Amino acid sequence: MCGIVGYLGARDPKEVILKGLKTLEYRGYDSSGVSILNKGKFKRVRAQGKLSQLCEKLQNEDFDGHLGIGHTRWATHGKPSERNAHPHQLNHVNIVHNGIIENYAEIKEKLIKNGSQFESETDSELVAHLIEREMNFNASLLNATINIIPGLRGAYSVLAVSEKTPDQCVAFKNGPPLLIGLGEDEIIVASDIQAIISYTKKIIYLEDDEIALISPGKVEIYNFKGQRIEKSPVTVNWDASQIEKQGYPHYMLKEIFEQPRAVAQAIDPHIDLSTRKINLSGVGFNVDNFEGPEALDLKNDLLNTNEILQTIERVFIVACGTSYYAGMLGEYLIERAAEVPVEIDLASEFRYRYPVIPKNSLLIVVSQSGETADTLAALRQAKKQGALTLSICNVPRSSIDREAHGHLYMNAGVEIGVASTKAFVSSLALMNILSLSLAKAKGLLNEDLEKKCVDEIVAAPSLMEGVLAYDKFFAQAADDLKKKRGFLYLGRGVSYPIALEGALKLKELAYMHAEGYASGEMKHGPLALIDETMAIIVLCPKDELYEKTISNLEEAKARGGMIISIGTGDDERLKSISDHYLSLPETAWYVNPLLEVIPLQLLAYYVAKSLGNDVDQPRNLAKSVTVE
């Protein structure tokens, strides 16, 4: 949602904060600001629009202090404007906030009655008011924070500083992430590791209900009751080079090209190449704190992943956006391979639909960021109802990763483009691993079949490399495609989630009307949309549904739409009814989605680029949606 950076140390805080905000701009990019100590006072500079506007304003500003906080915003309460940009300041107190204070209206009303005047329309500003009021009654910055927290409802992470304590910063959180990097003579606090990693790899992950008091060379952690907690930093192994564009014009294109590697990294821990066997090692189901002993027949000695999988009688998959489409593929694969019934849900629906979760259920949550508010809430809800839970995340130690009983990692590396690409293919690959592991646990995967499946999955990355060559086709076709009135993406079976994902990518990036449809549904309504101004992108692999998809396509063709088809090998029949035919190499039906999505991502990328849109940071979106 928003990005936060705080700095206390020997370097120029302006440089560190701006560099950090740049790496966090994906989290929000409608306004930004900093407050940095200068001659004992916090000098605040804010700007509406992209971070570059702020950088411009700060060009000739110098600061002599060594403490500062910064923020990049994605508006929730109050429109994007300089007035609503963070930091919020009241006299000596400055704060930045990520999340939502749900009871802000009632707090604000009380403060106004007591004479406070608000500068912005945000829910965040009141935190500065509350802390300032406490400090006026002689509370220290830490105690002021401890005193105000019980009155706040919602999901928030906050950094607060005061001129009265010019060598201290307080960080506290209940919801969105906050990480503290411990460098040599410096401490950096940020919403994401990207803002920290070029200074230090020693990180403290602040948990919910924790406050960090940061002073020179020292971080003390307290709980919300003010009791001291001992916490050691962990050393992370991410690399600063992962967050550079490395010669690509956009992060998104770089990430599309990184997809073969992302898939290889996702499957690597789960495939033994010498025996050609699949395993779910590393999932590490932690059932010690399992909250549903009545609901799942887990005995104390039953901690082996394979044995746990044997007990599963029903699977729920819950996610949002692109991760939801990866989950949809999981539904097709798990039901077919493991014969376990699967329900797939949007997290925002699941959490409010009073789901019935029967005994022996496994709930899988998929989330690149591991911070999506709805997905996290769905996970908590399912845990309460007794489900065993498994997260599939790209960001280790993210909230979802930490709270689930078991863990799978996308291992896609840092994904910066707001439109998700490589995390999606990694998730698809993990859905393959998961469905086969479940099938194996259920005794439905014999050794020969297992070896065959392993061979197909292991071959996927090099097949994907070949498909990336469609880059050139879409770079050229984009100028024509952008003139279309709308796009229909069609697919059946395992290609259906890919059609939906293709349409989402185009909407996000090109801001054009695009819909994904199961091809069999065309005649039930959407056929009416088709005329020569529409582009129809059809996924038509040579699988058991091939003939049916071809007839659906003929129906569309007869109405005059421009057809781009994506099929298998040298398919003359498909070619003859298409305006453009893109051939994919032959592979197994369950691996094919990994290949099919690449041309769709390239299409969206090049159309958006040709329209002059901001590909990495599309309008109105944020990479990590940590509010409802």
Could you tell me the two tokens for 576? 């003859």
Among 368, 435, 519, 565, binds ligand M6R (CB under 6 A): 368
Among 54, 213, 441, 625, binds ligand M6R (CB under 6 A): 625
Please tell me the distance from the alpha carbon of residue 344 to that of residue 364, in angstroms, as a whole number. 9
- The four Cα atoms 237, 243, 248, 252 give a dihedral, to 10 degrees, of 100
In the complex, what is the shortest distance from the CB of residue 187 to ligand M6R, in angstroms, rounded to a whole number? 27
Map the footprint of ligand M6R across residues 395-424, applying CB under 6 A: 418-420
Contacting range for ligand M6R; rule: CB under 6 A; set: 224-232, 466-474, 572-580, 619-627: 619-627
Residue 186 or residue 401: which is nearer to ligand M6R going by CB? 401
For 410, other C-beta atoms within 10 Å of its C-beta total: 30
In the complex, what is the shortest distance from the CB of residue 389 to ligand M6R, in angstroms, rounded to a whole number? 15
Please tell me the distance from the alpha carbon of residue 88 to that of residue 194, in angstroms, as a whole number. 24
Q: What angle do CA 409, 410, 415 make, to 5 degrees?
A: 125
In the complex, what is the shortest distance from the CB of residue 383 to ligand M6R, in angstroms, rounded to a whole number? 17
Q: Is 191 in the site for ligand M6R (CB under 6 A)?
A: no
Could you tell me the two tokens for 107? 């707090």
Q: Which of 120, 107, 24, 111 is CA-nearest to residue 73?
A: 24
Please tell me the distance from the alpha carbon of residue 67 to that of residue 62, in angstroms, as a whole number. 13
Contacting range for ligand M6R; rule: CB under 6 A; set: 179-187, 364-372, 522-530, 542-550: 364-372
Q: What are phi and psi of 591, to 5 degrees?
A: -95, -25
Residue 418 or residue 457: which is nearer to ligand M6R going by CB? 418
Please tell me the distance from the alpha carbon of residue 305 to that of residue 311, in angstroms, as a whole number. 10
Residue 259 or residue 322: which is nearer to ligand M6R going by CB? 322
In the complex, what is the shortest distance from the CB of residue 131 to ligand M6R, in angstroms, rounded to a whole number? 31
Q: Is 321 in the site for ligand M6R (CB under 6 A)?
A: yes
Q: Which of 272, 216, 228, 227 is CA-nearest to residue 437?
A: 272
List helix spans (H) across 321-467: 321-338, 347-350, 373-384, 399-403, 422-441, 447-467
Contacting range for ligand M6R; rule: CB under 6 A; set: 159-167, 317-325, 478-486, 591-599: 317-325
List helix spans (H) across 538-580: 546-558, 572-576
In the complex, what is the shortest distance from the CB of residue 618 to ligand M6R, in angstroms, rounded to a whole number? 8
Q: 613 near 509, Cβ under 8 Å? A: yes
Residue 48 or residue 372: which is nearer to ligand M6R going by CB? 372
In the complex, what is the shortest distance from the CB of residue 391 to ligand M6R, in angstroms, rounded to a whole number? 10
In the complex, what is the shortest distance from the CB of residue 510 to ligand M6R, in angstroms, rounded to a whole number? 13
Q: Is 593 in the site for ligand M6R (CB under 6 A)?
A: no
Q: 596 near 566, Cβ under 8 Å? A: yes
Please tell me the distance from the alpha carbon of residue 259 to that of residue 526, in angstroms, as a whole number. 32
Contacting range for ligand M6R; rule: CB under 6 A; set: 138-146, 331-339, 367-375, 381-389: 367-375
Which H or E run includes 93? strand 93-101
Residue 321 or residue 541: which is nearer to ligand M6R going by CB? 321
Q: 370 near 393, Cβ under 8 Å? A: yes
Please tell me the distance from the alpha carbon of residue 247 to that of residue 234, in angstroms, as a whole number. 32
Among 194, 259, 367, 552, binds ligand M6R (CB under 6 A): 367
Contacting range for ligand M6R; rule: CB under 6 A; set: 104-112, 363-371, 432-440, 540-548: 363-371
In the complex, what is the shortest distance from the CB of residue 424 to ligand M6R, in angstroms, rounded to a whole number? 8
Q: What are phi and psi of 246, to 5 degrees?
A: 50, 45
Residue 145 or residue 426: which is nearer to ligand M6R going by CB? 426
Contacting range for ligand M6R; rule: CB under 6 A; set: 55-63, 187-195, 315-323, 587-595: 315-323
Q: Is 94 in the site for ligand M6R (CB under 6 A)?
A: no
Q: 580 near 565, Cβ under 8 Å? A: yes
Among 2, 159, 214, 320, binds ligand M6R (CB under 6 A): 320
Residue with tokens 């990495």: 616
In the complex, what is the shortest distance from the CB of residue 623 to ligand M6R, in angstroms, rounded to a whole number? 7
Residues 6+ away with beta carbon under 8 Å from 133: none
Q: Is 194 in the site for ligand M6R (CB under 6 A)?
A: no
Q: Is 389 in the site for ligand M6R (CB under 6 A)?
A: no
Closest residue to ligand M6R, Cβ-based?
321
Q: Is 508 in the site for ligand M6R (CB under 6 A)?
A: yes
In the complex, what is the shortest distance from the CB of residue 190 to ligand M6R, in angstroms, rounded to a whole number? 18
Residue 506 or residue 534: which is nearer to ligand M6R going by CB? 506
Residue 323 or residue 565: which is nearer to ligand M6R going by CB? 323
Which of left, alpha, beta for 345 (phi over 0: left; psi -120 to 50: alpha)? beta
Q: 21 near 3, Cβ under 8 Å? A: yes
Q: Is 323 in the site for ligand M6R (CB under 6 A)?
A: yes
Residue 31 or residue 369: which is nearer to ligand M6R going by CB? 369
In the complex, what is the shortest distance from the CB of residue 243 to ligand M6R, in angstroms, rounded to a whole number? 17
Could you tell me the two tokens for 129? 């008011």
Could you tell me the two tokens for 220? 């003390």
Contacting range for ligand M6R; rule: CB under 6 A; set: 37-45, 86-94, 298-306, 617-625: 617-625
Q: Which of 498, 621, 504 is CA-nearest to residue 26?
A: 621
List helix spans (H) across 471-587: 471-481, 495-510, 546-558, 572-576
Residue 89 or residue 624: which is nearer to ligand M6R going by CB? 624
Q: Is 322 in the site for ligand M6R (CB under 6 A)?
A: yes
Q: Is 375 in the site for ligand M6R (CB under 6 A)?
A: yes
Q: Which of 205, 206, 320 is CA-nearest to residue 628?
A: 320
Q: 264 near 461, Cβ under 8 Å? A: yes
Among 194, 259, 305, 372, binds ligand M6R (CB under 6 A): 372
**How many amino acids of this chain bind ligand M6R (CB under 6 A)?**
16
Q: Is 369 in the site for ligand M6R (CB under 6 A)?
A: yes
By annotation, the residues acting in catalysis are 2, 623
Q: Which residues bind ligand M6R (CB under 6 A)?
A: 320-323, 367-369, 372, 375, 418-420, 508, 621, 624-625
